[in-house]
Each structure stands twice: as C-alpha cells, then as structure tokens.
Structure 1
Amino acid sequence: MPQDRRVGNHSSLKEHAAATYARRQLKQLDHERRVLVIASKLFDLTEELHGLNPRDRRLLRLAALLHDIGRRFGEKNHPADGARMIEEDGYLPLTARQRRALAYLTRYHRGAVPRLGFDGILRDGDGRKSLMKILALLRAADVLDSRQLHPPTLAIALKGSRLSINCFVQSDLNKARRVFRRRKKFRLLEELLDLKVEVAVERAHTVAHA
C-alpha cells in the first residue's frame, strides 16, 4: 500500500508540473482540462478493449494537458512546435522515455499518423503499439471539445463494439455537428480497438425531455 501511495503522489506531481508548464505557454487551460476529463472517460470505458495499464492512463492525462502547448507560436504548426518544446525543455520532470512518448503524442494529436516505426521520435522499446492506442484516445477526446464552441454536455456509452457519443450543445447546431463529428479524428480509435464510433449532436434543451 505505501508503494501505491508513492506512485500516486509522484503521478500527481508530474500532472501538476505539466499543468503549470502548459499554463505558462497558453495562459489558460480550459480546453486542456476538458480534454483530460474526456480522455480519462474514454480510457476507462474501453479498458477491456485496449488492454492498457494505469501508467498508460497517467501518460494520456499528461498528454491531454500538453498537446496544444505549441499554440504559443501559432496555430499552423502547433503539433510540431509542441513536440519540439517537450523534447528540448528540461522543466518537465520526465524520464527520457516519457519525454519521447509525450513528444510523439503531441506531434500526432492532429494530422496524419505515421505507420509504426516511422514517427521519427520513438525508439525501440518505447512501446509503440500502446502509444498508438493512447494517441487514438487523445485524438478522439480532442475533437469532442472545441476552442471555438461552448463545451458540449457529453453522454458516452459503450455497448459491445459500438461507442455511442451524444453531444448536447447550447447553440450553433450546424457548426457543432461539423466540428464534433469529424470522422478522421475517430478513425484510429475505430481501427485499433475494432470499434464503431457513433456521434450524435443535439440541442441541449432536448436533455430535459430525454
């Protein structure tokens, strides 16, 4: 039991350090903290499908906090900029392997995902297959929150091999459907976990009548 507490405390310290570092770059972390909650929910719901461990969950939470830090230098190249920042900045209390993992997750949270072994960041023994599953969860969580829209209320359920996601929004229904139903951000999750992801976007007032 004492060992478990030490692991938990050390994990909390790293998460606090990641949040502090990200806040310095971005000034506020509303999006990042929402992505953290969504990613954790997705991880827990699909646990039997992905077979990842608690260490992987902690890494996912760190990635949720750090994935957009490259926006400090602008939107266009922020995944690559963020990965470079993680690789080069010694502030974050990470092992070399964790640093590479978080650089990888940050670099490919948006855009094309390279085949295993062709990412240019990870090394043999870094657990590429597990990291790609973590990346799939991060990409799915990221698309379910937008800096451009009011945060939706989410209802997420797993039934067999079908992941059902209901997004209840307060306004701009058409834009919300375009943003939250982007299939490409769910494709990796579907492929790796053999899932079918179904996303429905409705007005929030319908919740009261459900």
Structure 2
Amino acid sequence: MATRTSSKEKSLAAAIDVGSHETVMRIAEMHMGKAPIDIEVVHRTLPLGSDTYSEGRISQALLDQLIKILQSFKQKLAEYGDIPVVITATSSFREASNVAYGVEQIRRCTGFEIDVLPNSIETSLHLLGLAATLQHYRDVVNETTLIVDIRAGSIQLSLYDQGTLINSLNFRIGALRVRELLGDLERQAIDYSALLAEFIGGDLTYYTTLGPKRTTYKHVIVIGGNVRFMRHLLKMEPAESSVDVSAFKEMYAHLADRNETVPRFADIPDEHRTLLLPTAIIVDEVVRHAGVDTIIMPKFSLSSCLLHDIAVRRFKLKVPYDMEADLISSARQVARRYRTDKRHAMRVETLALTLFDLTKKMHGLKKEERLCLQLAAILHNVGKYIAIQDDGSGTLAVLSATEFIGLTPERKQLVSLLACFHNGHVSISEYHVRQLPEPMRLVLMKLIAILCVANALDAGHAGKIQLIRAKQTERGLALTYEASADETLERWHFKKHSPFFLNVFGVEPYLVKRQARETEA
C-alpha cells in the first residue's frame, strides 16, 4: 500500500476498494495533521464474492466487468492530475483459486498494482478507521466493547477492554456468503429468516465458547459495507452514531417480513437489499449475546480507512489506535489461554529486549523486528500445553493457527518460527526456515540467537539475572549482569546456547558478573 509522498502541506490521494460486493473509489484532500476530506466517492456494485464463495474462483466475465470499472476509475482520476492511488482487494480475491491471474490481468489492462489484503491487515485497517471516525473512541474501548465487523464473506468479532484488544475472531458467515449458500432454500423454507438465524447462530455459538467467560458488555459497535443502508432504514442523521436496540428490532421485523411493501426499500439497490436480512440477523444474534440496549453504528468504509492510513503514515494524523499495543495484548492473551509460565515469559521478554537494544550495532535490525522478538518471547512456551518435551512443534502449530491483527502473513510466520526454535536447535537450511523469503531467513537466525540466550538466562524460571550492559571486546561480547541468587544453572544453560550466537554473529558472548550494590542500612 505504498504511496508517493508530497512535500506540500496538503495534497490529493485516492483509494480504491475492490470489495466482494461492490468496488468503491474515494478521492480526498489530505491536510497535514488532519483527517482526509472527501472530494468524490464512486460506488459500483459488482458481486465478485458470489463466484468466489460458491465456485472458489472469480469468473472471467466478472473479471472483465471489474477491469471495465477500474478503467473508468482511471479516467476519472486523470481529471485530478497525477495523484497517489492505493488499490486493495479483500476476500473475493484472497480466497479465489485464480487470484494471481486476476491480479495480473488488472495490472496489464489498467496499470493498477492491486494489493490483496490478508484478513489480519484488513481488520487492522478497519480498527484504525473506527478509531479515526468514532467520537470518544478511547472512552468507549476503555469499557468492555464488542466490535462486529460484518463483511460480504465473513464477520470479525473483536473484543476490547481497558483500551486494549483482548481477542479477535473471524467467522465465515458474511452476508453475501450466507446469501449464496442458503439462497436456494428461500422458497423451500417456511420461515427463511429463522433458517438464516439458525445457521448464523450455530457458528456464533463458538464465540460464546471461545470468548471470555462471564463478560458484561458495555458497548456493541457494528461496522461494515451494509451499515450505510441500515442507517438509512433506521433514519439516522449523519452526525448520529448510535441507535436503540428497540428501533433496530423494529427494522429487523420489517426485513424479515416477506410481505413487506416495496416502497420502504425502493431507494436501496436490489443487490444490496438482499444482503440486509443476513446482516440484520448477524447483528441481532450478537446483540442478544451481548445484552446491550444501544448499538453504535458509525458510517465509514474500507476506502476511507485506506485514506486514514495514508494520513497517519504520510500526513502525521494522530489517531487513538495503537496496533503494537493490541498485538502485545493479544499475544499475552494467547499465552494465558495456553497456560504458560507468565513470570518466566515476562523475564525472557525483558532479557531479550534488553539484549536486542544493547546489541543494535551488531544485528542492525529495526523496531519491526524488535516487536517480532517481543511477541515470540511472550509466546515461546505455548506449545507445552500440547507436549512438554517437543514443545517447539506444538508452539508452531498453535501460532500458525492463530491470527494476530496487524501482522502480515510473513511477519506472523517469522514470529511462529522464532518462538518454535527459541532454543536455537535449527539451521538456516531447515525446511520451515526455507519457507521464508530469503532476506527474512537471516533476520530469523539473528532473532533466534538473541532469544535463545535470553531464555537460557532464566533457565530456572527464578528471575535471578538482570543484564546491565553489553560491550564488544577482543575476546567477544561481554554481557555484564547482576544476580540475586546462585546462577550456576543459568551459566550452564548459557554456555550450551551461546555457540548458536557465535555461529550467527561471529562473536562469542560471555558473562561478566557484577556484584549487586549493597543497599544502605
């Protein structure tokens, strides 16, 4: 999602969202330190997901239609001169078997380089957009808040409490997917809305099982592509962001009534109107589970989220959303779920980050890699829940199956392998390591070298050692430490694991003990 920077205080930028149900282009004026201001928004309905969710691929006919839409968008953009454009696609491309062909056809016919977003990045963008759009966002998520992100192909349930992300789970029961799967049953079912509710509720039952127990929800926030039509039916003013559950229930009843007169929905396109019932059922099921009296329903879309992302990265917009804090919080929740030794994990985390910071000139890694090291340190023992002895394999299995909002698939793979091989029992030619892009393999080895030393320094899980400084000498890398108790075990483990550090960096680490300062009487 790279864009060209501008030296001006304000500029223009465009975002194109190739969605599963419609393709949207949004052109906005960008001001330094301020939110984007929309100049023009163009919607084109094209249900790409209909093919993907039912056939597993996008038909050539739909790809041809999409290319024509994008060509018309390009003509429109030409009216604004040479402005930066970001173009993304979501699950209709992400899940399609012919995604590579589609991306290449679009590049060849339009010149657009389309970025197919992983679900974790799509969710992170939505959370960023929500934080930028919703007034009093920080006050809301400081209380127990369930965010319901209803998309065409799936829904994402994200739970916040005390300002941090507790968990975020994806369910493949999006409005368009449900309509495509169960559409043939509409004429057969006596009560089609009840059938949809049963189907959707069955999947959402897993959230009550996997989610936190005995949770009292304060807020439910509903976001997604069809929210703008629900807001229209609810007669919400542009400045309004919440609605009473009773008003929503009344609207839901009208949607579920097959005999409802057409005029109520006459100004909503047919292709969107058929998605409103599945959307309303999802909201109803979640609200019933949460037990709230009002629903927060702000108006924004992925295209606006993309522009807010540009504003944050290029125009210094401040948004109350901290992706790194959410990632760290999520990692701690996963570690807690798999019953790791919390104190040991925190000590290894501290030792690893300290060693990383003390050896910056040696490893040359950046803050993104530091975050990966921190996440892996928190999670390095989750596999012991599965097997005490071969915990590395268990750790890799658990983390490979766990989604971390904001991490790209490559970064998640890096964290998973780092946690898996935290003891340094790996070579750069190992099969799993070779699945990484080549430049990332050396990054992995450097981080493993740091993590295995940090883990060795808390071998007894007793928190005896504190690193003070690191200094390169003729002998190697001198690590000065203080110990609060006999550290024979830790020194033995350190000696076992330091050869890996030597192999990676060509410098042998060794320990230098500094006597702890005596406290004044």
TM-score, structure 2 as length reference? 0.36
8 Å Cα contact 2:352/2:374 also seen in 1: yes
Q: Per the alignment, in what secondary structure is the counterpart of residue 164 of structure 1?
A: strand
- Residue type of the partner of 2:477? L
Distance 1:183 1:140 in 2: 9
Aligned to 1:189: 501
1:122 CA displacement: 2.8
CA change 1:117–1:158 in 2 (3 A) is same
Identity %, equivalent residues: 22
Distance 1:54 1:44 in 2: 10
1:82 aligns to 2:379 (yes or no): no
1:30 CA displacement: 0.9
- Residue type of the partner of 2:491? R
Q: Which runs of 5+ in 1 are unaligned?
A: none
Distance 2:490 2:353 in 1: 22
1:82-107 Cα offsets, whole Å, 9 max, x none, are 111001133x3232112211221122
Greater percentage in strand:
2
1:77 CA displacement: 1.0
1:166-196 Cα offsets, whole Å, 9 max, x none, are 44434445434334xx323222222222222
1:117 CA displacement: 5.7
8 Å Cα contact 1:116/1:128 also seen in 2: no
Distance 2:473 2:506 in 1: 10
| Structure number with higher relative contact order (C-alpha < 8 Å, ≥ 6 residues apart) | 1
8 Å Cα contact 1:133/1:192 also seen in 2: yes
Which of the two has higher C-alpha Rg?
2
Would you identify which runs of 4 or more consecutive aligned residues in structure 1 move more than 6 Å? 4-8
Aligned to 1:165: 479
Q: Per the alignment, in what secondary structure is the counterpart of residue 155 of structure 1?
A: strand
Distance 1:138 1:6 in 2: 33
Aligned to 1:134: 447
- Residue type of the partner of 2:479? I
Q: Which runs of 5+ in 2 are unaligned?
A: 1-32, 34-311
CA change 1:165–1:194 in 2 (3 A) is same
Aligned to 2:517: 208
1:175 to 476, 486, 489: 489
8 Å Cα contact 2:465/2:481 also seen in 1: yes
Greater percentage in helix:
1
CA change 1:54–1:148 in 2 (3 A) is closer
1:71 aligns to 2:384 (yes or no): yes
1:31 aligns to 2:344 (yes or no): yes
Distance 2:453 2:409 in 1: 26
1:201 CA displacement: 5.4
TM-score, structure 1 as length reference? 0.82
**Count of residues in Structure 1 that have an aligned counterpart in Structure 2:** 203
CA RMSD of aligned residues (A): 2.8
